[in-house]
Amino acid sequence: MNEGTKTGLFWALAALLVGLAVFVNWPTATDEQALVAINKPLFEEFKDPLAAANLRIVSFDETLGQLEAFEVAKDRSTGLWTIPSRQGYPADAASQMEKAATAFLGLRILDVKTDKAEEHAAFGVIEPNLEKLSVGDAGVGRLVTIKDGDGKNLATLIIGKTVKDIPSHRYVRKPGQDPVYEVELDDSPLTTQFRQWIEEDLLKLDTFDIAGTKIRNYSVAVNATLQGLAVDPRKSYDANLSLDDTNQWKLDSLVVYDDAQGGEIRSLTEDEQVNATKLNRLKTALDDLKIVDVVRKPEGMSADLKADKSLVSNNESIRSLAGRGFYPVQGTGEEGIDILAANGELIVDLKDGVEYILRFGRIAGLDESSSESADEAKEGTEDAAAAEEGAEEKPRETAGGSNRYLLVTTRLNSSMIPPPDLKLVPQTIEELAEMLKPPADPAAPPEGEIQFNPAALEGASPAPAPSDPGSETGSQSGSESSEPVTDQPAPDQPAAEAPAQAGDDGQGEAPQGETPLAFNGQGSVIGQGLPQDGTPPADNPGSGESPAEQPPADQPAPTAPTEESAAERFAKMTEDEKKEYLQAEQEKINKENEKLRDAWKEKMDGAEKRVRDLNARFADWYYVIPESTYADLQVKLEDLIQPKGAAPATPAGPNPAGFPSFNPLGQ
């Protein structure tokens, strides 16, 4: 081999080694992608969170091998939010949706972990797709999709596991793409908890608005027969309770039922009292009542919980009701079909005339709260108590506890808005004269009495001057009587022994330079006038006169002048003046009565509107409440009454922190 050949082989070998080194050290595809993708936004075109109008979250239940979907959407025509995954239940989602959409804004890639599909399970980013999944499959992520009002995708992402030792970082992947990214993501707004997307406060009432409650404590036993379901209501007691002006509970009536003898009226003994602590707990539970789920009611049930004939003839609707602890029974008169509840009713009266009716059903299970099932129809034919005892399913929202079905409606209780006491309008001069007469008891003027008002009669004769101190018509505070005052001193009675007249402290007539005694237009003195310069006397500010002007002790004290009564003045008017005064009083009283009627009608209209609005919310839904709330709303007979001297009751209304409760009796 010559030197040229050797040299050529050497250079060929060197080139091969260089090429091999370059190949070994060449960046992988993943590295290339990482170099390009690091710090790049995942969704560059998504910049406005308010454009988000639909959110859908799909997750996979490994145990059941099923997909669970949660969706919130905004109606394009009405602008209202609903939850399609809960059969269109109204959502309070504007704020929550903005938070969820904002979580995707500015989402940047921190690292690219892999581009191999076989490694997706390790990062928990397998797409939830039933066509590719089966029971027991692990490593499935949550698929989150955000769309605008036109249905265009704004962002879609599969969210996987949390990065080890960095709780704020998650592994994510775009559907249809293999690369797995590490990002910093707060996914708490991307919740599928129903109560996070709705108005939780179901009843929207305040404890201070509650005027009383009616407890209808009963249970329902149900047995299947060839003719259908046999419903057997078993009453325990009916109680009507109210809150007085001091916010204390009062038992208005109590009827206790015995299966053999029927109802018996029960009264509190001298040694008993209502259990205000338990009732106040009930009151607070009503204010705090929250729902954890809903199910749409069957067709045919009205807002007032009645049922029409179509519902009774619909087996599916009957099963829907019975499976949740509600049973249609024949009503009375024209009321059609009533609905009995497995665990009784609670009626709550508000001061504004709105009356809530709450009916408590059976325990809610996981499957029942989401959809109808064949098993549910079977449960509807079983005894309600047995169904509850055998209920072992965990609820949808309350892990480790139970939930219960609830039906709610409202109605108007007009007794809470009594019609106004209108004033009597005199129709004749004789009626007006009779009404102007002073009452026999000044402390209790009769209904319709008119106080004389000289200003009401323009051009009437001027009022007579106050009578002289020695006249037969004396001052009588608080009335318009023309009878002589019985406690006036005799002419020879010393001033020191004469009783003081109202408003002058027994000091006699006002001295010159001061205004005379003031009158209230009804013949009664209402106070001593001040000097004309507006300043009280320096020597005796309280008496209205100086000591030097007081009459000698051996002279009788002068009697304070008084006006004639309204009846006397009216009697001295001419017929034309009386007619004019009658017309003026009629107009005045009619205006006052009209104001009273308008105020009453406004309250009635407000209560009726609120009933309509509330029933529009309640009409279509079974509600699901926590079992702990149900326990606070239930009052057993033995818990309703307690011996006097038991543990003190908590106040019926909330007490501001740091302020002790006031007890006027010091007990």
Domain ranges of the chain: 29-197, 207-417+611-643
Angle at 598 between CA 593 and CA 600, to 5 degrees: 95
Q: How many percent of the chain have pLDDT more than 90? A: 44
Whether pLDDT at 141 is above 70: yes
Pairing of strands 518-519, 525-527: antiparallel
Can you tell me the distance from the alpha carbon of 286 to that of 280, in angstroms, rounded to the nearest whole number? 10
Q: Among 339, 358, 325, which Cα is nearest to 213's? A: 358
Residue 496: strand, helix, or coil: helix
**Beta bridge partners of residue 89, listed in sequence order:** 83
Count of alpha carbons within 13 Å of 407, Cβ hemisphere only?
28
Whether pLDDT at 475 is above 50: no
Q: Among 649, 656, 664, which Cα is nearest to 282's? A: 649
Structural contact between residues 240 and 253, judged by C-beta atoms closer than 8 angstroms: yes
Report phi then psi at 402, rounded to 5.
Answer: -125, 160
pLDDT digits (tens, 9 = 90+) for 309-355: 666 666 777 788 888 999 888 765 455 678 899 999 999 999 999 99
Whether pLDDT at 255 is above 60: yes
Supply the angle between the helices 575-618 and 429-436 in degrees, to the nearest 10.
80
Can you tell me the distance from the alpha carbon of 529 to that of 515, in angstroms, rounded to the nearest whole number? 5
pLDDT at residue 221, as a whole number: 84
Count of alpha carbons within 13 Å of 591, Cβ hemisphere only?
6
pLDDT at residue 555, as a whole number: 60
Can you tell me the distance from the alpha carbon of 562 to that of 585, in angstroms, rounded to the nearest whole number? 24
Query: The tokens of 532 are what?
Result: 């004309």
Residue labelled with tokens 């209780």:
413
pLDDT at residue 387, as a whole number: 36
Angle at 146 between CA 179 and CA 144, to 5 degrees: 50
Confidence grade of residue 133 (pLDDT, cut at 50, 70, 90): confident
Q: Among 417, 429, 420, which Cα is nearest to 447's? A: 420
Question: How far is CA 99 from each of CA 103, 173, 188, 547, rounded to the nearest angstrom?
Answer: 6, 21, 9, 81
Beta strands in 163-314 (DSSP E): 169-173, 180-184, 210-225, 228-243, 249-258, 262-265, 272-274, 293-296
pLDDT digits (tens, 9 = 90+) for 352-372: 999 999 999 999 864 443 333
Q: Among 474, 477, 465, 472, which Cα is nearest to 503's? A: 477
pLDDT at residue 65, as a whole number: 84
pLDDT at residue 14, as a whole number: 63
Residue type for position 389 = E
pLDDT digits (tens, 9 = 90+) for 163-192: 999 999 999 999 999 999 999 999 999 999
Can you tell me the distance from the alpha carbon of 359 to that of 326, in angstroms, rounded to the nearest whole number? 8
What is the average pLDDT value for the chain, to the nearest integer?
75
pLDDT at residue 478, as a whole number: 40
pLDDT at residue 438, as a whole number: 82
pLDDT digits (tens, 9 = 90+) for 437-468: 887 665 555 555 555 554 544 444 444 444 44
Segment 636-648 mean pLDDT? 84
Residue labelled with tokens 């409440």:
625
Segment 222-240 mean pLDDT? 81
Confidence grade of residue 531 (pLDDT, cut at 50, 70, 90): very low
pLDDT at residue 556, as a whole number: 60
Q: pTM above 0.75?
A: no
Looking at per-residue pLDDT, the higher value among 568 and 7 belongs to 568
**Among 82-91, 618-627, 642-651, the least confident range:** 642-651
